[in-house]
Structure 1
Amino acid sequence: MNPEQIQALNDTARGQSPQQIIQTALAHAAGGAIVTTNFRPYEAVILHLVAEQQADVPVLWVDHGTNLPETYRFAEKSRERLNLNLKPYLPKMTAAHWLALNGGQVPMPDEVERVESFSRIMKLEPFERGMCELAPKVWITALRKEQNPQRAATLQPFMWDAKFNCLKVNPILDWTPVEMDAYLAEHSLPNERTYYDPAKGDEKHECGLHAKLVTDKA
């Protein structure tokens, strides 16, 4: 898509609900849409929003093998509750292997080199492999401005991702925890507050999945 087409989509998206934005996205997908998740808190919201529109949309999940037990239980509850078409992608190196070579524990936020190594080997590689194999025309995310203050001004509902050559769609950009909690309650969806991503360390560190966004190229 060219910049004018993407701008037209964003102009139309002003004032629209996430459901309407997802409907538009799926109309442009020609059966080639995916949604990505890491099963962090509130992920059931975007998964339910998409499943309500198209139940069989593939759900790309990078399982790096070191999630907390609570995260795995949340993932299974979400899969069962929403009948997700889950597509787990695992690193080529097992978590036990990486940990044995890198101090025996997942990296802490201040361990920059270990965080970057974990991100590159255990998360980015399987994510890029999954994106290449699934080859989506439309990539739906759970990105929210509140979680990405350093990039909030650049985020839009519709963006072009040049790396994966697809339309990236962010339906809940403006939602806060108030809207998220209300949606979970309205639809009786599971949630899990306990979460730690060794590929990020803290909320200010980019793991790389959403770091490179291009809006001015087709």
Structure 2
Amino acid sequence: MSKTIVTETNLDKHNADLSGKSPQEIVSWALSIAKNPIITTNFRPYEAVILHLVAQIRPDITVLFVDSGYNTEATYKHAQKLIKDLNLNVITYIPRQTRGYRDVLFGGIPEVDSPLHEEFTEQVKLEPFRRALSELNPDVWFTAIRSEQTEFRNNLDVLSLSKDGVLKVAPLYHLKSEALNEYLVNNGLPSIATYGELDYFDPTKALANRECGLHTQI
């Protein structure tokens, strides 16, 4: 993977320097040091914020969408609208195995406490994501993770490093849902009222406050 000037040694210093900065300032700083940045998205409603925020500054940035094949109809329609409205440069990665194959292999989507669930998650999310990062070779990875989402994420910061040393930048890290709703309305983006936060499904998580392994293993 490509590397940035941010390392484990100076990570805390850079996070301190970005403390109190606005999401726009964080994005501008990260893009100023990036050679090959990407945004990752699952097209949940609040993801429109980071897609709009980054695309306003870097319109041609690569947007990585790992499509598990289990998204709701509303999510796919929402994705198509954002791609068109924001003119996003989306690259989609999918699992190597078909959904039909997994239905036979796993008998459908395994329960989260099933020993099969780890392999299911590997197939539909982690392997395609690793493959994408290997082929796209980014040095900066914009992500919409926020501190209030899970206990694990609450222990991170605006900047963190992937296991391969890619700089993960979370411009929305300190924002609450209310601020994101306001951003959506102010910028004419599909709001939670028109889309529905609950009309989204991630088969690898089951619960909103559960980690799927993406940010703990990659």
TM-score, structure 2 as length reference: 0.89
**Structure 2 counterpart of 1:80:** 84
Aligned to 1:36: 40
Question: Residue 109 of structure 2 aligns with which residue?
Answer: 106
User: Of the candidates 2, 7, 17, which is equivalent to residue 12 of structure 2?
Assistant: 7
Alignment partner, residue 117 of structure 2: 115
More off after superposition, 183-192 vs 76-85? 183-192
What is the DSSP-based 3-state SS (H/G/I as helix, E as strand, rest coil) of the residue aligned with 2:16?
helix
Task: Return the match for 1:209 from 198, 211, 214.
Answer: 214
Q: In structure 2, the residue corresponding to 1:171 is in which secondary structure?
A: coil
2:189 is aligned with what amino acid? Answer: L
Residue 51 of structure 2: aligned partner: 47
Aligned equivalents of 2:117, 2:201: Cα separation in 1: 12
- The superposition leaves residues 55-91 of structure 1 with CA deviations (integer Å, 9 ceiling, x where unpaired) of 1111111111111111111111111111111010011
Q: Which amino acid aligns with 1:106?
A: I
What is residue 175 of structure 1 aligned with on the other side? Answer: 175
**RMSD between aligned alpha carbons?**
1.7
Aligned to 2:3: none
Return structure 1 stretches of 4+ with deviation > 6 angstroms: none
Q: Is the 8 A contact 1:132 1:164 kept in 2?
A: no
Q: Which amino acid aligns with 1:54?
A: R
Q: Structure 1: which amino acid aligns with 2:85?
A: R
Paired with 1:112 and 1:175, the residues of 2 have a C-alpha distance of: 34
Whether the aligned pair in 2 keeps the contact of 1:118 and 1:198 (CA below 8 Å) is no
**Matched residues in 2 for 1:4 and 1:97: separation?**
44
Of 59, 62, 66, which aligns to 2:66?
Answer: 62
The sequence identity of aligned pairs, in percent, is: 41
Distance in 1 (CA, whole Å) between partners of 2:171 and 2:7 is 20
Separation in 1, partners of 2:74, 2:178: 23
The residue aligned with 1:21 is 26
**Deviation of 1:133 (Å):** 0.6
Counting matched residue pairs gives 208
Q: Is the 8 A contact 1:131 1:164 kept in 2?
A: no
Q: Is the CA contact 1:66–1:106 (under 8 Å) kept in the aligned structure 2?
A: no
Q: 3-state SS of the aligned residue for 1:159?
A: strand
Q: Which has the larger displacement, 72-81 or 113-122? A: 113-122
Tell me which residue corresponds to 1:159: 160
Q: Separation in 1 of the partners of 2:165 and 2:152?
A: 24
Is 1:185 aligned to residue 185 of structure 2?
yes
Q: Tell me, which stretches of 5 or more residues in structure 2 are unaligned?
A: 1-5
Shift of 1:164: 2.9
Distance in 2 of aligned mates of 1:23 and 1:123: 29
